[in-house]
């Protein structure tokens, strides 16, 4: 008996319509196709030899099985999860018993696409790597809407199963285009041209409903500070970001943000709702070093700024001061304008340090607080919504790079 299931834990499901093909020149090889329970009976009697076994999930399009998951992985409109091809080697003895199984593949990378074990009664247990799980939770993008943003999330859980189940459930109300497992596997759930439901109440560059114009990527992690994202996840994410930007040229380099940058609370303010999504442990600097996302430039230092030229001279006049409500309106207005030019939703630039401004500052600080390299002079290092000199200079460095101008109006090259 051969059993074929997919590699998703909680739950793995049996895979039907998988062709098990024994590579042999002998007549009438004992091939077969799995039934709805993922099972197929193969007769080994009289077949003493060593064979390669080709495992072919028949509903997987040939051209995507060994390609990287990305925009080119088009999901069927109906149907089931689809899986990678796989092949392995078995040895059968004179009594028709399986004596050994070897999961390594001569085909490049195919051995990463499945596992195989042997158990009693000559049973082979095959798992196949999942490539895509179509989610029913998506809708049309509004007409004439370009995809111009990528939103990175964490699933909030330590394992992938619950997130996949929720996104795949009809009526689950949530989905993402891509989910990246802890081992770096990417699973596609919604085609890029459809609107996945990942960002909820949200706003970026003063445009509401971020789902309309974004791609959502969920990374398996609990968020906050429980456990670091894995190296495999960063590598997979970076590859996917490049593929997405190639396919959707209206996504600018800086158009890669976290859910925490765009999520609004029930009173439509930034601030509290998603500080852990993807959280301060997410290594934005890793992306920035490749020019991806909102970059804090490292060719501009804090010493490059004349403090009397920024924020109405607030930090020149108040050493160690905190820019907040009660500070000069001109300084607060400049702060609001800077946050707005990056994309944060801070309401009107009215010179009042209200809830929206404080929320925008908090979200900015969460994104730019992490400092894995230990160079504590360049990131905010706080996320309490209070603008100290470090937060102010981090913001200004980004603004100079983004606008191409220094605070005194001279050109940054
Ligand atoms: Zn999220």
| R_g over Cα of the chain | 26
Separation of 149 CA from ligand 1 center, angstroms? 14
Asked if residues 306 and 326 have their Cβ atoms less than 8 Å apart, the reply is no
Report helix, strand or coil for 208.
Answer: strand
pLDDT tens digits along 21-55: 999 988 888 999 999 999 999 988 888 999 999 99
Separation of 121 CA from ligand 1 center, angstroms? 46
What pLDDT was estimated at residue 123?
Answer: 94
Separation of 189 CA from ligand 1 center, angstroms? 15
| Cα–Cα nearest to 206, from 158, 167, 262 | 262
What pLDDT was estimated at residue 108?
Answer: 59
Neighbour count for residue 16 (Cβ, 10 Å): 18
Separation of 153 CA from ligand 1 center, angstroms? 4
Residue 57: half-sphere exposure toward Cβ, Cα within 13 Å? 33
Mention every residue, 6+ apart, whose C-beta is less than 8 A from residue 231. Answer: none
> What is the distance between the alpha carbons of residues 284 and 293, in angstroms, rounded to a whole number?
8
What pLDDT was estimated at residue 239?
Answer: 97
What pLDDT was estimated at residue 335?
Answer: 97
Neighbour count for residue 375 (Cβ, 10 Å): 10
| Cα–Cα nearest to 224, from 156, 165, 285, 293 | 156
What angle is formed at CA 137 by the lines to CA 131 and CA 139, rounded to 5 degrees? 110
| Cα–Cα nearest to 271, from 154, 353, 385, 348 | 385
Separation of 279 CA from ligand 1 center, angstroms? 10
Separation of 224 CA from ligand 1 center, angstroms? 12
Residue 176: half-sphere exposure toward Cβ, Cα within 13 Å? 24
Separation of 361 CA from ligand 1 center, angstroms? 19
pLDDT < 50 regions, the chain = none
What pLDDT was estimated at residue 345?
Answer: 87
Domains belonging to the chain, first-starting first, are: 2-132 (2.60.40), 142-288 (3.40.80.10), 302-403 (1.10.101)
Tokens representing 179?
A: 């989910």
What pLDDT was estimated at residue 274?
Answer: 66
| Cα–Cα nearest to 144, from 193, 102, 99, 208 | 193
| Cα–Cα nearest to 75, from 132, 130, 113, 128 | 132
Separation of 199 CA from ligand 1 center, angstroms? 6
> What is the distance between the alpha carbons of residues 292 and 360, in angstroms, rounded to a whole number?
21
Phi, psi torsion values for 397, nearest 5 degrees: -60, -40
What are the residue ranges of helices labelled H in 159-267? 161-168, 231-247, 259-262
Separation of 213 CA from ligand 1 center, angstroms? 16
Catalytic residue of the set 21, 62, 107, 218:
218
**Catalytic: 107?**
no
């Amino acid at each position: 008996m051969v059993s074929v299931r997919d590699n998703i834990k909680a739950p793995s499901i049996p895979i039907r319509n998988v062709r098990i093909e024994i590579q042999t020149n002998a007549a009438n090889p004992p091939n077969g196709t799995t039934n709805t329970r993922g099972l197929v009976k193969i007769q080994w009697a009289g077949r003493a030899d060593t064979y390669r076994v080709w495992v072919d999930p028949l509903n997987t399009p040939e051209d995507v099985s060994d390609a990287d998951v990305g925009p080119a992985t088009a999901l069927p409109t109906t149907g089931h999860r689809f899986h990678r091809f796989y092949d392995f080697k078995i040895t059968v003895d004179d009594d028709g018993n399986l004596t050994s199984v070897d999961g390594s593949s001569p085909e490049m990378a195919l051995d990463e696409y499945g596992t195989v074990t042997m158990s009693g009664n000559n049973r082979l247990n095959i798992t196949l790597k999942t490539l895509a799980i179509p989610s029913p939770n998506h809708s049309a993008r509004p007409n004439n809407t370009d995809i111009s943003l990528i939103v990175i999330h964490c699933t909030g859980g330590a394992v992938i199963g619950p997130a996949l189940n929720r996104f795949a459930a009809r009526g689950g109300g949530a989905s993402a285009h891509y989910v990246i497992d802890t081992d770096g596997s990417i699973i596609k759930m919604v085609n890029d041209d459809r609107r996945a439901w990942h960002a909820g109440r949200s706003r970026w560059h003063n445009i509401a409903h971020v789902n309309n114009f974004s791609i959502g990527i969920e990374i398996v992690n609990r968020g906050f500070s429980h456990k670091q994202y894995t190296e495999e996840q960063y590598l997979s994410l970076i590859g996917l970001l490049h593929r997405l930007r190639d396919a959707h040229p209206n996504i600018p380099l800086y158009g890669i943000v976290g859910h925490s940058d765009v999520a609004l609370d029930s009173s439509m303010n930034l601030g509290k709702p998603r500080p852990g999504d993807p959280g301060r442990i997410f290594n934005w600097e890793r992306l920035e070093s490749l020019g991806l996302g909102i970059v804090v430039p490292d060719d501009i230092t804090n010493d490059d700024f004349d403090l009397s030229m920024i924020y109405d001279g607030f930090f020149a006049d108040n050493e160690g001061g905190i820019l907040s409500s009660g500070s000069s309106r001109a300084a607060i207005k400049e702060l609001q304008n800077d946050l707005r030019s990056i994309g944060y939703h801070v309401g009107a630039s009215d010179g009042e340090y209200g809830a929206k401004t404080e929320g925008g500052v908090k979200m900015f600080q969460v994104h730019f607080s992490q400092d894995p390299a230990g160079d504590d002079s360049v990131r905010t290092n706080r996320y309490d919504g209070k603008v100290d000199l470090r937060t102010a200079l981090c913001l200004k460095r980004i603004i100079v790079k983004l606008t191409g101008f220094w605070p005194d109006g001279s050109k940054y090259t």
